[in-house]
Structure 1
Amino acid sequence: MFRLAARRVAWAETTSDAQADSAVERAVAMAGHTVGADATLTRVLGPRTQAAWLSRATPFSESDLGLARLRPPDGVRVVAGDPAQGLDGFRRTHIEATHAPRVVMLSEPHAAPITRYRNVAVAALGTVDPEQARTFVTRVLGRLATDDENTLRLATTLAAYLDENRSRTRTAERLVIHPNTVAYRVQQTKQILGRGIKTGTLDLRVALALPPTLRGLPGAH
């Protein structure tokens, strides 16, 4: 299930709701074509927002869901739940695609045009209760729990580094930076954390997934 929305903040003031709705409809059609859907069920959720369930007789593969191939119109945000079968699957993918927009909105202006729920599931779970999330992140990350651009860059690098099993090369390729830059930033994060990163990895990785969605993080003093 896809949920697509032409966000007001992304459109010029002169853009009408009709133009925005048209862009959303084009994005739905493009998504159906991209994943090879046999049928599309749509529902208007509100101004500039539409849900779409895309289906076909054969299961969707990961290559089918390579949404990087999808190029939605400017100003349109697309979120997608994971494919599932049957009535329960219909409900589950809808619920996933309902929670993902919260992560996208909280992550603005850094959010990508297309977001799969599976890639933001931790942030979606963690932001159901923002106050608890903020407390958890501050406790685990200490002074790394701030939302200024430089600190977020360091946190993002450390998160990617842990995701890539501490490979500087793969992290550098993923972030399109030099491996030496990865090493420098990781060392900076260790200094800020005041400890190594070989223990407490689960809490650390969960905490690192949340700062882009939490505003006003004070850090620890």
Structure 2
Amino acid sequence: MTRQWLRQLKPDQDRPHHEPVLAPAAVTAMTAVLGPDPVRWAVQTADTMAAEVLEQVPEHGGGPASLATLRRSTESTVLAALRLLLTETTCADAAMPDEALEGCREFARRGVALDRVLRGVRLGHARLTQELTSAVEQYVPVDERLTELRRITDELFAHADTHASLIAESYIAERDRWRGSDEAARRKTIDDLLAARPVAPEAATRRLRYDVARTHLAAVLWCDNAEDPLPAAERLQHTAAALARTVGTGHPLLIPATGTSAWLWLHAPDNLAGLPDRVRAGVDRAPGVRLALGPPAHGSAGMRRSHYGAREAERIARLAPGDWLTDYHEVRLVALATADPEHARWFVHDVLGPLASDGTRVQELRETLRVYLAEERSLRAAAGTLHVARNTVTYRVKRAEELLPAATTAGSTLELRLALETARTLLG
């Protein structure tokens, strides 16, 4: 029987759905084979797989960049499985997606145990089998359903077995290469510093070829989905060097984090005034590279402090994509307020009520009220910031206040301002 029912797959509208993290060219190629709805189904299924793996094997996590790597791996795996099933290709002829292999190599470099990696693989394939079993019951005629279920189960089992074997081989090869490398020794020193384990500053300086006793400015760099002929590693290195030239403090310390992200430390300049604006204006960044800056901090403990500030700025930047540069000092309040994202959403909806609704119009009202309060209730200043007429600000503020719950209008301005700032990140 032909498997044209796979082209009928559609995402569940009642479940969350995100945009793909795979490169646009890869998504376009798979859409040409499967169709747009099956690709969206695959992305939604991959998101569910990644969430279940993170819940049961938390070692797969480690920050936004690691999550993006995991999502690329699950997306590529689901799409490859659909293509295999649709074309009825044998597992021996089906190549392992590069994204899955890169994710496996990253686990080896991070020291995630092989049994935990393989548990993630098993969990992912179990979820995929469940989702496809449900799809068979929905899209395949009753008289053909049992036969198709058996065939799908057999083929997916063989696919999972082959997948696990290739993952194990790739993991072991990367682990053996990594253990003897200078890069591994440098990463071990960084991991010790970031975990606040005792590290002799002189030994760390020799190993890293970077003076850990000075004041540091950390950054996280990552590549988005922008297409570019240059590999991600080259784009990250180019942007790191450009940032170092702009800051003007000598040779940076660049540590690869994932295949598409890196951690950076610079010695902080004496003059930090207006640094984010100088970086925005002066850095010749490579296409598709984004950057998060941490707060300056001193000594080996300062490397940790500045790095985690940069990681928080990265988290906020990924929640609300916008400017290519995010500075910790510009988002630290929202970072603090959204440390527990679910709690933060509850707070926003409790305080803002209908003003937390979806839609461009309501978003416009929220932003106007936010700017108005940030400008100390100055209509003129708010109008200048928003580039609209003063009467427009007056109308929007009045309309926004009408949407607020009575308890909010009679309560703390601090809570309202915090909710508006948080909503800007979580809701747009």
| Percent identical residues | 33
Q: Which has the larger helix fraction?
A: 2
Report deviation, 1:138: 0.7
- Does 2:313 align with 1:96? no
Closer/same/farther in 2, CA of residues 197 and 88 from structure 1, 3 Å limit: farther
- Does 2:261 align with 1:37? no
Closer/same/farther in 2, CA of residues 74 and 160 from structure 1, 3 Å limit: farther
Aligned to 1:106: 319
For these two proteins, the number of residue pairs brought into alignment is: 208
Report deviation, 1:87: 2.1
Report deviation, 1:124: 1.4
- Does 2:224 align with 1:7? yes
Give the Cα separation in 2 of the matches to 1:151 and 1:187: 13
Give the Cα separation in 2 of the matches to 1:173 and 1:120: 22
* Greater CA drift, 89-98 or 154-163: 154-163
Closer/same/farther in 2, CA of residues 186 and 68 from structure 1, 3 Å limit: farther
Larger Rg: 2
- Does 2:120 align with 1:120? no
Closer/same/farther in 2, CA of residues 134 and 48 from structure 1, 3 Å limit: same
Give the Cα separation in 2 of the matches to 1:34 and 1:182: 38
Pairing partner for 2:425 from 184, 192, 213:
213
CA contact (8 A) 2:222 2:260 kept: yes
Give the Cα separation in 2 of the matches to 1:169 and 1:180: 10
Q: Which has the larger strand fraction?
A: 1
Aligned to 2:293: 80
CA deviations on 1:103-134 (whole Å, 9 max, x unpaired) are 111113xx211111111112212222122111
CA contact (8 A) 1:140 1:204 kept: yes
Closer/same/farther in 2, CA of residues 139 and 115 from structure 1, 3 Å limit: same
Report deviation, 1:79: 0.7
Give the Cα separation in 1 of the matches to 2:405 and 2:390: 23
Closer/same/farther in 2, CA of residues 43 and 134 from structure 1, 3 Å limit: same
Give the Cα separation in 1 of the matches to 2:396 and 2:329: 27
Closer/same/farther in 2, CA of residues 198 and 41 from structure 1, 3 Å limit: farther
Q: Which amino acid aligns with 1:91?
A: R
Pairing partner for 1:139 from 325, 345, 350:
350
CA deviations on 1:119-174 (whole Å, 9 max, x unpaired) are 11122122221221111111100101123222222212211221111122222332
* Greater CA drift, 77-86 or 120-129: 120-129
CA contact (8 A) 1:140 1:207 kept: yes
Structure 1 unaligned regions, length at least 5: none
Closer/same/farther in 2, CA of residues 133 and 194 from structure 1, 3 Å limit: closer
Closer/same/farther in 2, CA of residues 175 and 31 from structure 1, 3 Å limit: farther
Task: Show structure 1 runs of 4+ deviating over 6 A.
Answer: none
Q: Which amino acid aligns with 2:247?
A: V
Give the Cα separation in 2 of the matches to 1:63 and 1:120: 15
Q: Which amino acid aligns with 2:376?
A: N
Structure 2 unaligned regions, length at least 5: 1-217
Aligned to 1:162: 373
CA contact (8 A) 1:60 1:83 kept: no
Closer/same/farther in 2, CA of residues 112 and 133 from structure 1, 3 Å limit: same
Give the Cα separation in 2 of the matches to 1:185 and 1:70: 37
Report deviation, 1:51: 1.4
What's the TM-score once normalised by structure 2's chain length? 0.45
Pairing partner for 2:235 from 11, 23, 40:
23
Closer/same/farther in 2, CA of residues 143 and 90 from structure 1, 3 Å limit: same
